[in-house]
Structure 1
């Protein structure tokens, strides 16, 4: 019997005429309905004609999560007075409850995506409802894009509804071709907001880490809510680990009395999930992840405690790592969570942050297409016939870098061809219901049941208590006894069934052929390593010092006490990067040997000659490597001369041209040329380090061509080589000694060397007595020399660029100071007319 009293009480009923009219006229609509209004449970039966309103249609409802899909189907069946599977059924991965006469089928978006790839027309389906589209999961966005394509090209009569409580309604309306926006007014009941920030600052979350102080505060807020408000409490936390910690703190206090604490997350047993969705016999605290945000009514809940945190996927392309990370929940998610408190009666939400902080939160969750690993998306797009996804109706285009990385992975596993089109192998991979990496392992390692067991382990987050050894985790799952093990076993059965379709396994390349041949002879530990290595070939890692170097170039460390410690090779299945650490941390891995490493990462194998400058000399070697990991190194005595020359040039750039033999004459020549370049410019050459490197072929050949190592560079006469840069063609080279002479004659007849160390001001250091009688400072290329007048002992007595001024004003002071110290040398009163000399008075008298 249909429960009309419950149906009539759902506020969304008032929006149904506008919704049906919009679908009749446009074929598409966006339904915005606050939490608790009944959009998930009333709209599909009405559109299917199950309530006597409108023609009979077959409706498919896509939910982002399995728990929501099952709960929505059960709720609709209850409203219709039926069992699940009659008029309303559901399909999630590994479970299908749909009768022959079902008119409403609730599926996960992943299931719908697979169905579209098999049957693009969705034969027999009249309406598709994309529920909770605000969450922007990648599967949901992809499904919406494919459905828009189907409507445009194959089935314009197919009706689409995008539904959510908090969504970018205008954006979805544009995406659905100008669809009308229909709003259902009013939540079921009012919800009071209580701001409950921690009393002292807590550290921000990083990766999977959450400050224990915040979790302790959340537990205290739960106790406060129990004391201040009636009804059950629903508390939102980011993950199963945080739920377990808060549950422990609530249990440790012993002050909850007769209150039941339930833990709900993706790994929770189905029995627990079902118990949460049924009325409780006593007061309850339900600790949940975001699985309870939408499409669920938890009976008895009047209070929500919101930690303000969520888990979202992120990819570190630089390190080749992808994992969930803890982020601040968006305001849209906050509204969804708060709405859980007002489903059945007025309620309250306790938010564990301040009202001021709330204004800084993102409006919507980050679309997965912007932040997640796009390998599976790229494969779906390729199988759909849109390899670059440019023609798909997406609210946000995929980032170019992430798509390029995804196509690289797909090419490596043989899923796409050289232009990005899906191969037959890629089509098979897309239909396994697995990430393409895991699908590659399932196909290439053979249809062994043990392979399916390890793939099932890697298809879902493994409990931390299972440890970081994949083989050990496999044994823990086999022992059973927890909810994860039961779900794992169900997935193993599914994978064994689908893997039978690929027996014998298609040969992709020599590496996979060898892998399939070997698996029958391997033990469980080796199978775990094989699957991990095939799934993540770029994470095959070799022990290198105190850490492991992945073939991708990323370093990873094991935790203290890990059973993997000391292994020569491992395959890293799960890793993250701890706060403040430059290296990754292995969360799950398996021991392998070098042979398996070569098989799994065979596409990254190369043998090449390496000639480069390192540690101050040319290093020539023949190297076998897997990506960044060196397997074997041998000296290379007959290195290619061109590579040697490049290495020597690199050495000159890095260590400077001082590697050449620079005699005193060579250094002086370079200084003279630098002076002329600064003073006169062209055609005099630039002899700076940068310029000499740029013109190395002009002045350092053929000596460089004959050199093989650093010692050969040290034998090259830099002065001789530098002479090749002189402007011989213009004839100016002949004027070098005229324009920038090495020495210059002074009045005493001596020829004194000019110091060109400072090209802006050449220096002439000469004894003062040798310059008597000279009225003007000597010049080179029109530049007055800076004259350092020396005492008889050769020490600077005065510095001047204007001799006439010095004889007139400065000489008297110098004469008075030095005359008594050096009485044997002439100190005439008038130096401008005195005879220049390099001798003492005694010599002059003789």
Structure 2
């Protein structure tokens, strides 16, 4: 054991940690960055820190969230022991491993741990499992924790579990582990000074995967400032590969000043990752995603520049589209990042936001189980024997909607049965180490295209394809086979090398399937790529029209301008995202297919039937063959069932309103009278609101509705005739309509004046003032005083009253004075309450009187 191990601060926590594990069997370890949590603790738990190595306590498995962290942790532990990786300390990640029969500490990714648990639930020979960086709440880590707790409870009560992190929710994990003790290692972390460095001007917040270029330019300027103000290397955190490339471009001139700019992310080749983790002779700026947040010590770093952004998965279950979203990093992530500056000596963190903004950041990152696609999780749970995951010990339960969407996919690919439990095919898919969609494509495409070709295309889809490969899957495949082209040159061959390794792994797994269907039937790159993409994403096969692709699942996706895919008739869309606020998706990667391939891949979505519906403003009756949302053939249907025609017409009424019917003046007045009585008297008078009439449409529109076939027929239906059917005839009240809500009222002059029921609360009678002479009070309907609009001889309003007697006493005098001068030929008596009502002038009255 090297002396460096003796200096690690976490040594003080080892005795209480051992005591907690001996007493409870599980513990939560909280240790600041740089204390040795990831490297010294596993060695101690394996009994490797004593003078003679200590007793054999069984193999220790350390689960890390990322491949780069797993390899780095294994190398560091082996170095502490004075050995090479693959001896006492080894690692196993997808596509790469260095282990032997002598290995006592094995570092794995959480995905690899899940695979092992599904094959060997007892974890024979394993004494302790350490779940490192559990604060990141990756779905695989949460799932592995749940499975391990199940194993402890049912099979291996002696299995020891440690949940370790620097910033985790210790209380939550302690409760999950059954009240496990929390062990803290305070250590002697070097101080880290915080420098608040917000942009000088406001920048746009992140939108989907888009980051304001002004913010990235500011981050680059802060890196230059840090280089000028501080000693040591600079570690800069950015959300993704694209942002790293942009900032690297802005720092292009640093090399001439003796500063190297390195890029670290999940797609970087192992050689580049190793170079970053080794001391350099020149000063360095390391641009990194969150892979450098935990479990890694980048030697020489004294300064951290934090953009404050992170990428999290998002899934649109309604459209079946997954994507990454740029979000503000949590305060926990900020502490982890800042801690990188104090690993070896005092340092500083430059935060590209204000101190006031910091308090508004989320405390912890969103658990992946709440926001991600749960198809792989649901398959893991089904293979574990708990299809709905209700019996798993999880910090956060899976959302019901996401689980329903996941089960739908698993059922479609034959991974689970009707009871939700894993089928034999599902178990095989789970052991491939792929998303179930890609596993299905590998197994089903291998007999058609050959295991090698199918494995190569699936390997291409199992990791984000470099943008420089283009959006044509077959062309991207050719680029990868040719060594990666410009993308390989930019990343030192990292992507192409990882692709080849994964393709070899999948080739061996698909070997048996390749011989199941006889000779290979797919020969060209386009045929193979199209078949694989269509099998993986059957609901995303679609027809191209006018620069967009309507997919079988119902989502429309735009084909990029200038893309060769625009010339295709059909596509199988492998990668698409939907920008925030946009209705259509964007195609990122797709393969050209023909209609036959689309039909075969999405066979469960193929249907033929009669459609009678309201569309484009009229009844449409046709016979349609469709592939999901994509119409394949359409023929007119001339003998549609009357009931379906009626249902379509009713749907048209609901969509466009009762205005489709013929509403005469009498019909509108009748509806107003009925609305007045409904509001005044209630039952049995009918509700004639739009909603109520639509709900009872069959009742009051038959038999005319039964004879209608199209929109024009609705326009010939007399709505008034239909309303008469709703009158309460059975109770006898219908016959009282004219009594309770008369259409016209007789006024003192003998005229019959129409009552306006437009306001169901206050009926209105508009009548010439002289025709109301002699009336002692206002008329009423159904006990409600009518509002009288008194008109001049020319029919213009002069007064409004609901109390005519009061108007005669108080208001008439002023109106009389005005009207006498304007209309001298008409009678204007001083006492209108006793005067004779009239419709005529004085001259006419004299003639009639004479």
- Calculate the TM-score normalised by the size of structure 1: 0.91
Alignment of 1:450-599 (within 5 A): 450-480=453-483, 481=488, 482-504=493-515, 520-578=521-579, 581-599=582-600
Check 1:679–1:10 CA distance in 2 against 1; reply closer, same or farther (3 A cut). closer
Give how far 1:771 is off: 5.3
Helix, strand or coil: the match of 1:564? helix
Helix, strand or coil: the match of 1:525? helix
Cα displacement string for residues 185-219 of structure 1 (whole angstroms, at most 9, x for unaligned residues): 31453333333333333222223222222222222
Given that 1:36 and 1:187 are in contact with CA atoms closer than 8 Å, whether structure 2 keeps it comes out as no
Helix, strand or coil: the match of 1:561? coil
Q: Give the stretch that moved more between structures: 355-364 or 657-666.
A: 657-666
Helix, strand or coil: the match of 1:130? strand
Alignment of 1:232-247 (within 5 A): 232-247=233-248
Provide the residue aligned with 1:330 in structure 2.
Answer: 330
Provide the residue aligned with 2:687 in structure 1.
Answer: 686
Provide the residue aligned with 2:48 in structure 1.
Answer: 50
Once residues 636 and 332 of structure 1 are traced to their aligned partners in structure 2, the CA distance between those partners, rounded to angstroms, is 63
Provide the residue aligned with 1:398 in structure 2.
Answer: 398
Q: Give the stretch that moved more between structures: 552-561 or 369-378.
A: 552-561
Q: Give the stretch that moved more between structures: 377-386 or 535-544.
A: 535-544
Once residues 218 and 731 of structure 2 are traced to their aligned partners in structure 1, the CA distance between those partners, rounded to angstroms, is 84
Once residues 800 and 232 of structure 1 are traced to their aligned partners in structure 2, the CA distance between those partners, rounded to angstroms, is 88
Alignment of 1:827-838 (within 5 A): 832-834=834-836
Helix, strand or coil: the match of 2:131? strand
Give how far 1:176 is off: 1.7
Once residues 748 and 349 of structure 1 are traced to their aligned partners in structure 2, the CA distance between those partners, rounded to angstroms, is 94
Once residues 817 and 86 of structure 2 are traced to their aligned partners in structure 1, the CA distance between those partners, rounded to angstroms, is 119
Structure 2, unpaired ranges of 5+: none
Helix, strand or coil: the match of 1:40? coil
Alignment of 1:146-225 (within 5 A): 146-225=147-226
Check 1:566–1:659 CA distance in 2 against 1; reply closer, same or farther (3 A cut). same
Helix, strand or coil: the match of 2:480? helix
Give how far 1:40 is off: 2.0
Check 1:144–1:636 CA distance in 2 against 1; reply closer, same or farther (3 A cut). same
Check 1:229–1:413 CA distance in 2 against 1; reply closer, same or farther (3 A cut). same
Helix, strand or coil: the match of 1:170? helix
Give how far 1:427 is off: 0.5
Alignment of 1:752-767 (within 5 A): 752-764=753-765
Aligned match for 2:25, one of 24, 27, 45: 27
Cα displacement string for residues 69-106 of structure 1 (whole angstroms, at most 9, x for unaligned residues): 22222222222222222212111112222112221211
Provide the residue aligned with 1:717 in structure 2.
Answer: 718
Give how far 1:488 is off: 0.7
Cα displacement string for residues 562-616 of structure 1 (whole angstroms, at most 9, x for unaligned residues): 2212322222222233465443222222222222222222223333433333343
Once residues 424 and 218 of structure 1 are traced to their aligned partners in structure 2, the CA distance between those partners, rounded to angstroms, is 51
Check 1:754–1:289 CA distance in 2 against 1; reply closer, same or farther (3 A cut). closer
Structure 1, unpaired ranges of 5+: 506-515
Helix, strand or coil: the match of 1:261? strand
Helix, strand or coil: the match of 1:39? coil
Once residues 821 and 329 of structure 1 are traced to their aligned partners in structure 2, the CA distance between those partners, rounded to angstroms, is 80
Give how far 1:119 is off: 0.7
Give how far 1:118 is off: 0.5
Give how far 1:182 is off: 1.9
Provide the residue aligned with 2:704 in structure 1.
Answer: 703
Given that 1:196 and 1:221 are in contact with CA atoms closer than 8 Å, whether structure 2 keeps it comes out as yes
Check 1:499–1:793 CA distance in 2 against 1; reply closer, same or farther (3 A cut). same
Cα displacement string for residues 742-796 of structure 1 (whole angstroms, at most 9, x for unaligned residues): 4455555555554444444445555666555555555444445555566666666
Helix, strand or coil: the match of 2:550? strand
Q: Aligned pair count? A: 833
Given that 1:46 and 1:53 are in contact with CA atoms closer than 8 Å, whether structure 2 keeps it comes out as no
Provide the residue aligned with 2:261 in structure 1.
Answer: 261
Check 1:519–1:669 CA distance in 2 against 1; reply closer, same or farther (3 A cut). farther
Provide the residue aligned with 2:301 in structure 1.
Answer: 301
Provide the residue aligned with 1:102 in structure 2.
Answer: 103
Q: Give the stretch that moved more between structures: 739-748 or 184-193.
A: 739-748
Provide the residue aligned with 1:361 in structure 2.
Answer: 361
Provide the residue aligned with 1:9 in structure 2.
Answer: 7
Check 1:239–1:656 CA distance in 2 against 1; reply closer, same or farther (3 A cut). closer
Given that 1:300 and 1:344 are in contact with CA atoms closer than 8 Å, whether structure 2 keeps it comes out as yes
Helix, strand or coil: the match of 2:564? coil
